[in-house]
């Protein structure tokens, strides 16, 4: 069974440490190295793989220091981002299937936030449930800003996530949920599932508790960026085409 440790760092980032058997460890999007190194030392773990979803500094900033301590660790990232993630030892592309500590790991190409953004999906295996590490493409209650990609690309990326097992745990890289849901309610105020989620998230954040991971089924019910075919959001935006709905909602969110 794969253990996932969530590390809260910087203002609102999450780093994820994946722990397999025999003290083997991998880390997803290490913004900084120190908390990862502390966990590795405390648990007597060996860092074998660093996985990156995209090139932004708050996702790769800790990698050089980690490699000073664990020089044999592999660095996996999008092959298309080799120039922007220069330490990678294995360049990845859409559809690749890897092995991570005995679990199959699928690589998804999910441009939108950046042009070469990828995500990592661990499908269900026996009693081990499905897990998604989606960086800044999908957030709990939201999606990433379109810094390099288009609304059409983001919609296609989110549709890939929508097709996953609904029980998939969504490990997104920032604690943005409360702000995302506040905006979502402004666009979809009669959504009962969204209203209930908003109350739950407010209570969690009042106790300084994390709202990540989410789940795919929860995002499909409450995340406006996953619901661009919904008639209420079409009416709210004045568009029918889901790409146009997403583009309009994204513009509104950027200015909210």
Catalytic residue among 29, 52, 55, 113: 113
- Tell me the CA distances in angstroms from 115 to 56, 110, 150, 171, one per residue in order: 12, 8, 9, 20
Q: With contact defined as beta carbons under 8 Å apart, do 107 and 95 qualify?
A: yes
For the CA atoms of 129, 135, 139, 144, the dihedral, rounded to the nearest 10 degrees, stands at -150
55 is catalytic: no
Catalytic residue among 54, 55, 117, 188: 54
The radius of gyration of the chain from alpha carbons, rounded to an integer in Å, stands at 18
DSSP code for 153: H
Catalytic residue among 29, 81, 117, 136: 136
54 is catalytic: yes
Catalytic residue among 52, 55, 117, 174: 174
Catalytic residue among 52, 55, 56, 117: 56
Q: How many helices (H) and strands (E) does the chain have?
A: 9, 14
Catalytic residue among 29, 52, 55, 58: 58
136 is catalytic: yes
Catalytic residue among 52, 55, 59, 117: 59
Written as six digits, the tokens of 207 are 């106790």
What is the pairing mode between strands 142-143 and 138-139?
A: antiparallel
Which residues are identified as catalytic?
A: 54, 56, 58-59, 113, 136, 174
């Amino acid at each position: 069974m794969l253990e996932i440790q969530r590390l809260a760092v910087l203002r609102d980032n999450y780093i994820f440490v994946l722990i397999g058997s025999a003290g083997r460890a991998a880390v997803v999007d290490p913004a900084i190295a120190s908390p990862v190194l502390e966990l590795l030392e405390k648990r007597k773990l060996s860092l074998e793989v660093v996985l990156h979803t995209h090139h932004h500094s708050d996702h790769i900033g800790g990698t050089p220091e980690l490699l000073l301590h664990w020089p044999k660790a592999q660095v996996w990232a999008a092959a298309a981002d080799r120039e922007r993630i220069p330490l990678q030892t294995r360049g990845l592309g859409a559809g690749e299937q890897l092995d991570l500590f005995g679990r199959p790991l699928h690589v998804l190409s999910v441009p939108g936030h950046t042009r070469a953004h990828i995500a990592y999906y661990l499908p269900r295996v026996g009693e081990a449930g499905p897990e998604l590490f989606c960086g800044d493409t999908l957030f709990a209650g939201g999606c990433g800003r379109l810094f390099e990609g288009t609304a059409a690309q983001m919609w296609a990326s989110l549709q890939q996530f929508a097709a996953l097992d609904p029980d998939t745990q969504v490990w997104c890289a920032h604690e943005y949920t409360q702000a995302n849901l506040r905006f979502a309610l402004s666009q979809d105020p009669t959504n009962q599932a969204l209203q209930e989620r908003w109350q739950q998230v407010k209570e969690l954040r009042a106790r300084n508790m994390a709202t990540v991971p989410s789940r795919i089924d929860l995002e499909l019910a409450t995340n406006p960026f996953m619901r661009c075919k919904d008639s209420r959001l079409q009416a709210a935006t004045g568009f029918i085409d889901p790409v146009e709905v997403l583009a309009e909602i994204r513009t509104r969110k950027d200015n909210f």
